[in-house]
Each structure stands twice: as C-alpha cells, then as structure tokens.
A and B are shown apart, each in its own frame.
Chain A
Amino acid sequence: MTPDISGNVEGSFQLIGGNFTNAGEASTQLKMKLFEFGVDDAIIRRAAIATFEAEMNVIIYAAAGQLHYYITPENIKIRVEDMGPGIEDIEQAMQEGYSTAPEWVREMGWGAGMGLPNMKRNSDEFMIESVVGEGTTVHMTINLNE
C-alpha cells in the first residue's frame, strides 16, 4: 500500500533520563502518526520497535536526549541523540546479550543487551556514533516502499 504522505513531515520529542513513567510515549505517538498516513502495519511495527528501544536506551543511560523523526513518501528517518555516558566499544555494544546495565535496570525488565541489536534488525539503515563522556547518536532509516 502506498502511504498517503504529501510532502515531508517532521517532529521531535524530548526524552528525560530516568523517566520510566512516560517511556515509550514518543514511539507510540510516532506509531499513531504512521498509522494516520496509512503506512503498512509491518513497517509501523518495525519503526515503533526501533524507536522504542532507542528511547529506552536514552532513559536508562542518559541524563536527557531528543528523538527526531523525518517522514517522506520514501522513508522514515529517525535520529535519537543523547547526553549520556557514550559507548566505549560500539562493536561490543552491538553484540546481543552484552549490557552495561546496573542491577536495578535488569530488575525492571531492561538491560538484557538486546536494545541495539533490536534497533539494527528493525531498520533498513542503521548508524551509531558515540563519544565517551559526551553522548551517543543513533540514525535509523526505514523504507516505506518495499
């Protein structure tokens, strides 16, 4: 189904570190927007999952961050940047099961080391850049027309 998007749509959300209460709100809103545009269910799901995991990483590890989305008729571009501790070894961080999460995070059902792999798997293009002590930015692109 060709989604009904004329022109480009963009928006952003502020993410607050440690705020588990509203965690997922940004992804839910993006999901609803894509639904309004008539985007394919499977694609909405992938976008929601990738965004959700990115949101959770910011909330778990960073002081604050921002989620920015940019939707065109061809694809959805999502950029999540945070002011967090940064990742020392990105390759290691991308390994499934690898996590630096403290115990209290694991007890909340997170920190099993699946966030980054989940994000990569659900996007068509995935790029991550990080500076230790400054923060991390994740770029994801999901194509709308298969």
Chain B
Amino acid sequence: MKLSELAEKLSLKIASHTEGMNGNITGAYSSDLLSDVMANSKVGNVWITLQTHINIVAVASLKGLAGIIIVGNRQPQPETIEKAEAEKVTILTTSHTAYETAGQIYQILST
C-alpha cells in the first residue's frame, strides 16, 4: 500500500516532503525510544511516535522508513520540519492517539 493511500484512509495531514507519499509501506513500527526504532524497525515501515524533535529525522532517514506519523495532535518542531525537507523524510500528523493509530493501521494492513 502506498503512503498516500494510508494517509487518505486515516485523514493524516502532511507536514513535510510530500513527494514521499508515493512510497510503499512494508508495515508499521510504534515506539518513542529512538534506540528501539534504530534496532528494530524495518525498511519501509511507517513510524508511529509522539516525539517531535529533530533527531527523529535522522533515525527515519538511516532506517529507510516510509515516513513518520506524529500522533496526539502534536506538531513537529520547526527545525524538525526543516531537516525533514532536507533529508527527504515524510512527516504526517494525526489527532488520534498512538494506540488508535497503530490499531487502525494494523486493521488496514491485515485485510
């Protein structure tokens, strides 16, 4: 499934690098601990987190993640968006909680 399709189904808002919406999703990973994401996420995963600071961009870039979904109506820091554009990392936002977002994506990807 393409990131754009998922974003539409969940009404996600795009915060950076719109071009990444064409990417394919291999699954999802939910965590707020950067070391955890570095160790366990897979290429093409979409990352569900509440973290908004600039370090999330490097992690997403290094791991080849499809994108980052920041939950709970949080907004990425301005530096984060700037870095994301530079590193070509797609960031999306949602007002739903991490649990809900993961739940919805799980349902969509497992059908």
Residues of A bordering B, CB below 8 Å: 96-99, 103, 106-107, 109, 112-113
Instruction: Report B47-93 residues with CB < 8 Å from chain A CB.
Output: 50-53, 55, 74-75, 77
Interface band, chain B: 10 to 19
Chain A residues closer than 8 Å to B32, beta-carbon distance: 109, 112
Q: Which residue of A lies closest to B33 (CB)?
A: A107
A112 touches B50 (CB 8 A): yes
A-B contact pairs, 9 of them (CB 8 A): A96-B74, A97-B75, A99-B53, A106-B33, A106-B34, A107-B33, A107-B35, A109-B32, A113-B52
Contact A107 B52 (CB under 8 A): no
Contact A97 B33 (CB under 8 A): no
Question: What is the count of residue pairs linking A and B with beta-carbon distances less than 8 angstroms?
Answer: 24
Q: Which residue, of A97, A106, A112, has the highest number of chain B Cβ atoms within 10 A?
A: A97
Given contacts A103-B55, A112-B50, A112-B51, contact A97 B74 (CB under 8 A): yes
Report whether A98 and B77 are in contact in the complex, using a CB–CB cutoff of 8 Å.
Answer: yes
Query: B53 to A97, Cβ gap below 8 A?
Result: yes
CA distance A107 to B51 in the complex (A): 12
B16 to chain A, nearest CB (A): 16
Closest chain-B Cβ to A97's Cβ sits at a distance in Å of 5
> A109 CA to B51 CA in the complex, in Å?
11
Secondary structure at chain A's binding surface: helix, strand, loop or mixed?
loop
Determine how close the nearest CB of chain A comes to the CB of B78; give it in whole angstroms. Answer: 11
Chain A residues positioned under 8 Å from B51 (CB to CB): 106, 112
B55, A97: Cβ atoms under 8 Å?
Answer: no
Asked if residues A97 and B52 are in contact (CB atoms below 8 Å), the reply is yes
Nearest-neighbour CB distance to chain A for B24, whole angstroms, equals 30
Give Cα A107 to B53, complex, Å. 13
Contacts of B55 in A (CB 8 A): 103, 106
6 extra interchain contacts, Cβ-Cβ under 8 A, other than A103-B55, A106-B51, A113-B53?
A96-B74, A97-B74, A97-B77, A98-B77, A107-B33, A109-B33
Question: In the complex, what's the smallest C-beta–C-beta distance from B98 to chain A, in angstroms?
Answer: 13
Q: Across the interface, which residues of B come within 8 angstroms of A113, CB to CB?
A: 52-53
Cα A97 to Cα B76 in complex, Å, equals 8
Who on chain B is nearest to A99 by CB?
Answer: B53
**Is the beta-carbon distance between B34 and A107 smaller than 8 angstroms?**
yes
